[in-house]
Every structure is written in C-alpha cells, then in structure tokens.
Chain A
Amino acid sequence: MASAGNALSVFEQALSVIQNNVDNASTPGYARQQLNLEALPLDVASGLVGGVTSAGLDNSRDPYAEEAVQIQTQALGFYTAQAQSTGTIQSLFDVTSTSGVSAALNNLFQSFSAWSTTPSDATAQQNVLNAAANVGQAFQSLSNSLSQTAGQIDGQIGSTVSEINALASQIQQYNVQRSQSSQADPGLDAQLYGALQSLSQLTNFSTVTQSDGTVTVLLAGGTPLVIGTQQNVLSSNTFVSTDPPPVYGQSMPTAHVLDSQGNDITAQITGGQLGGLLDSRNRVLAGILGDSQQQGTLNQLAQGLADTVNQILESGTVSTDPGAANGAPLFTYDTTNPATAASTLALNPDITPAELAPVDAEGNANGNANALAALENPSGTQGTIDGVSYLQYFGQIAAGAGQENQTATANEQAQQQITTQAESLRDQVSGVSLDQEATAMLQFQQAYQATAQVLTVLSNLGQDLMNLIVPM
C-alpha cells in the first residue's frame, strides 16, 4: 500500500510537470521540464518495498544553444540599430543636387563663372555674394541637422542603457531568489532566460552560471553587469574625450557609456542595439562632423572651400588701377576651431560687392574670377581635397553615408536569417542527448559541408565573372 501510494504521488507530480509544460508553451524563456523517475529497490526481507520515486527535474534547455542564439541576436540588434540610424543620416544628404550643399556649391561656381565674364558688373558681384551666403546657410543647415540626429541617437542610447539596467535588475532579482533556494525553479528560470534573450538584443555580453545557481553577466570586455546579488548600474553621457588628449578640443562631444564607478566602458559595447547606436554616433557621424581626434569631412570641406576662395580673393585687387585695394575675404568661419567650420561657415558680413577682387596678383583683369570659376573642375591641386574637387568631395561624403546604410541594411537582412536559423537549431538540439542526435548531426554536418563546397565553387566563379568585366 505504501509503495502504491508513493508511486501515485510521484505520477501526480509528473502530471503536474506536464500540465506546467502545456500552460507555459508560449511563455518567453520557458524550457520544457521533465520529471525523472527512479525505481526503488525491492527486497521484502530487508523491508524495501520498491516502487518509484522522483529523481529531480530536468529541463530541455541547452546552454550552448541558448548562448549561440544570444550571440546571433546581439549581432542582429547591432545591425538593426545601425541600419536605422544610418538611414536617418543618409536622408539628410540631398543627392538630387536641387537643394542643400551640392546645389549651393553649383550655384556659387556658376556665379563665379558669370562674374568672370563681367567682373565690374554690380549684379554679377551681388550674385556671388548671394550664392556665397547660400553656401554658408547650406553648410550650417546640414551641420545642424546632423547634430540634431546626433542628439536623437544620444537619446536612444540613454533609453537603451535604461532598458539594460532594468533587465540587469531582473537578473539580479533572479539571483537573489536563486541564492535562497537549493533547487532551480522553472518559472524563475524562464524569467531569467527571457531577460537574457531581451538583453541580447540590446548589448553584447556573456554569462557564467555559478555553483550556487546564480548567473554572472559580463559585458564583452569583462565588466560585470550582474554578479550574484550585485548590479553594476550603467549610465550614458556625452563629452569630449580626453584620452587620448584631444586634437580638437572644441569638437562635437561623442557618446559614452559609463559603469557605476564612472569608468568609460564604451569600447566594450560592440554588439546589440547599444553597440549599433554607438557605432553610428561615434564612428559614422563623428567621421562627418568631427570629434576630439578628427576634424570631420564636412568641416574639412567647409574650411578647404573658405580658405581657398578667401586666399584667391585676398591675393588680388579690386581693379587694375595702381594702388587698388586688396580683395576682402568672401567667407568667415570660426578659425580657432576647425572642427566647427561647417556649422560656422557664413558670408563675410563686412564684405561689399565692390570689395570682390577680380584682378589676380599678376595684374590680370579677371584672373581671380577665372581662378574661382575654375574651382568647379580644378586642374591642379588648388581647389581639391584628397585629389578631388569640392563638389566631388561632397559627393563622396554623401555616398559614404549611403554606403554605410546600404551595408548595414544588407547585414541586417543576412543576420535576420542567421538568427532565425540559430533559433531553429536551438529548438532542434534542446533536450536531445548526444546519443539520440549523433547520427542525425553527422548527416546535417555533411550536408552543410557539401553545400559549402558548392558555395566555394560559386564564389570563385563570381570572382571570375568580376575579373571578366573589370579586367585586373
């Protein structure tokens, strides 16, 4: 009677586990449970009555598979955030040449060209000033729009850090409860893995399960996010980095993530949504607008254009008359701070049309005006940056932003598939023993390798095709 009663109790537990599995089939992070049954020895002479007893709960979670999915999810979070933010950056560059910096530069060069044919014509002179004012406005407008985008990304970084802290808090709470219990709780376990899965969309990390069942979460560089019952609360901020010492002290601040001690751990965040946002903010945007170590391509262009035009005008005179005044600079910008050249570029407020100097230093009547008109398609090094004209250089900046977005979008699409497949493989191997799965795994591995070999051939053929249309 006793053994039968015990067996009934154990089978009731088993039914309860099955019911729990059914109830939680859709619960995020839940893994199927299985109650292990163990036969009890039967020896009537010794008073051992036999029957069955519970030998503990097993779940179908495979730690390796879970981690593999988390790694792929981190990459997906990175590319998704990168694609969204570079999409915003890209949209600020008008590639139709009907407005913005490109159109303003075109109009300026046209005004130089018209002025070169009638250097003393007041209308032509005024048109040059108007076009220069528009160039200044276009640079300032683009620079301001990019700075606003930087501010938006900073806000997203802040909210992502808050989400990370909230999830870290959940994990810390799990650790508190887990450390007070000698056995794993399926419900708690599901909450933990749900939180880890959500966290993997936001940042890159690894986990270590301690002997007491608590989970340590480490950011990629080893900075702990959660250790036992301790949480390292992160924060975000923007400032001009002083390590290494700034070359451009008054540059646009970059975004940083700090640990609870105030240590800068930005470099450790290379995955997840936070990694993607930081990359767009501190690499892509900083490449255009500058930071403590670089002037920024847009500032380089603004300064290059202003310096060249001003140097040509100031080297000449306003007429061929003896003793004629030297020309006035057409543009102004904050020369003490080259990393803000684009946001401060403007028409010289003191210049008058008559102060434009069409005569070059050798006394040629419209030598300067011709030199300025020639900046549209320069033949020498004057009027170029990295060997290309100012218009082409701006085209390169715009194309670079577009390329960043195209690459990020393509990576996002590819990574979406990889993540989906990792989830599928996780489901395939979870709860399966090596003995059960070994033969099938070998068949899959061989099928993958055969596919990889076909792909190698296809890749080589793709290279051959490329060589045919672009001979080396």
Chain B
Amino acid sequence: MPAADPIRLIDHARSCLQDALQQWSAADLNCVNECRSLLEQSVADVTVAIELLSTEAAVISTELPPMIVSLRRDISNMIRLVDACSAFQRGWWLCRGEGTPPYDASGQTVPEAGDQPARSVLG
C-alpha cells in the first residue's frame, strides 16, 4: 500500500490494474484469480484516495484529472476483456450443452452450481 497521498494511491491503483490487463489469461484459472487480487488492491487504493480527497482540507492537484481519466479507461478496457471471456464461455456452454444451461436469464450461474458435478447440474 503506497503512502497516504491521493496521487500515489491512484498511480498504484492504475499500476495494479494495468498489471491485471497485461497478465490476464482467460484459459488459466490461477492467472484469473491473481488478476482479481490485483484488482482488489486497486479497489483498496482508490477507496483510500477517495477518503483523502473527501476531506475539507483536500487539495485537488491538476495531475489528478488526467490520471483518473486514464484509470477509468483502463477499468473500461478490463471490463470489456472480462465480459468478452465470460460471454465466450456462456455461449460455448449454450451451444454445446444439453438441457438447461447452469445460468439464469441474467447470465449468472445458479447459486449451487459450483458445488455440484456437471451432470447433476445439467440434470
């Protein structure tokens, strides 16, 4: 965790996010989980940065706006990437699966799906 300085925090949050973008490997479960940890670190950094910037004494540096715009662009790219991978898996399942796929109408897995063998999930 970087020192309690909004600029350093956001810089670190973006660094973690960019590492996640670079390292993301949709077919490697360990890698996906590691990327999630990096994103959780970004969340922690940004949360502290918001707390610091919300105080009355906070001074908004001119460096901040472009950093935040870049951060949001990277978030958007990461969302596109994860959505694309998730959509691929759902589509593949629906094309290959028999019977009811283990997803609800919103595309979420049914709650107990992960704990059950595939066949029992498929019914």
**Which chain B residue has the least Cβ–Cβ distance from A429?**
B92
Q: Report the minimum CB–CB distance from B115 to chain A (whole Å).
A: 10
Option from A442, A451, A462 in Cβ contact (under 8 Å) with B82: A451
With A442-B118, A452-B82, A458-B39 as given contacts, are A421 and B29 in contact (CB-CB < 8 Å)?
Answer: no
Q: Are A458 and B75 in contact (CB under 8 A)?
A: yes
Q: Report the minimum CB–CB distance from A303 to chain B (whole Å).
A: 35
Option from A427, A443, A455, A464 in Cβ contact (under 8 Å) with B78: A455
**Which chain A residue has the least Cβ–Cβ distance from B37?**
A454
Contacts of A88 in B (CB 8 A): none
Q: Is B2 an interface residue (CB 8 A)?
A: no
CA gap between A279 and B68 in the complex, in Å: 30
Query: For this complex, into which size category does the number of interface residues on chain B fall?
Result: 35 or more
CA gap between A418 and B42 in the complex, in Å: 21
CA gap between A444 and B86 in the complex, in Å: 8
A454-468 contact mask (Cβ, 8 Å, vs B): 1 or 0: 110111011111101
Q: What does DSSP make chain A's interface, helix, strand, loop or mixed?
A: helix
Q: Are A449 and B86 in contact (CB under 8 A)?
A: yes
Q: What does DSSP make chain B's interface, helix, strand, loop or mixed?
A: helix
CA gap between A251 and B78 in the complex, in Å: 42
CA gap between A459 and B80 in the complex, in Å: 12
Q: Are B108 and A444 in contact (CB under 8 A)?
A: no
List 18 interface pairs A-B (beta carbons < 8 Å), by A numbering.
A64-B95, A65-B88, A421-B81, A421-B84, A429-B92, A434-B93, A434-B97, A438-B118, A438-B119, A439-B117, A445-B86, A445-B93, A458-B17, A458-B42, A458-B75, A464-B50, A468-B50, A469-B65
Binding site for B on A (CB under 8 A): 62-65, 68, 72, 410, 413-414, 417-418, 421-422, 424-425, 427-429, 433-435, 438-452, 454-455, 457-459, 461-466, 468-470
Binding site for A on B (CB under 8 A): 10, 17, 21, 24-27, 29, 32-33, 35-36, 39-40, 42-43, 46-47, 49-50, 53-54, 60, 64-65, 68, 71-73, 75-86, 88-93, 95-98, 102-103, 108-109, 113-114, 117-119, 121-122
User: Across chains A and B, which 10 residue pairs bring their CB atoms closest together, nearest first?
Assistant: A438-B118, A428-B27, A64-B95, A448-B86, A414-B77, A421-B26, A461-B46, A462-B72, A447-B32, A454-B39
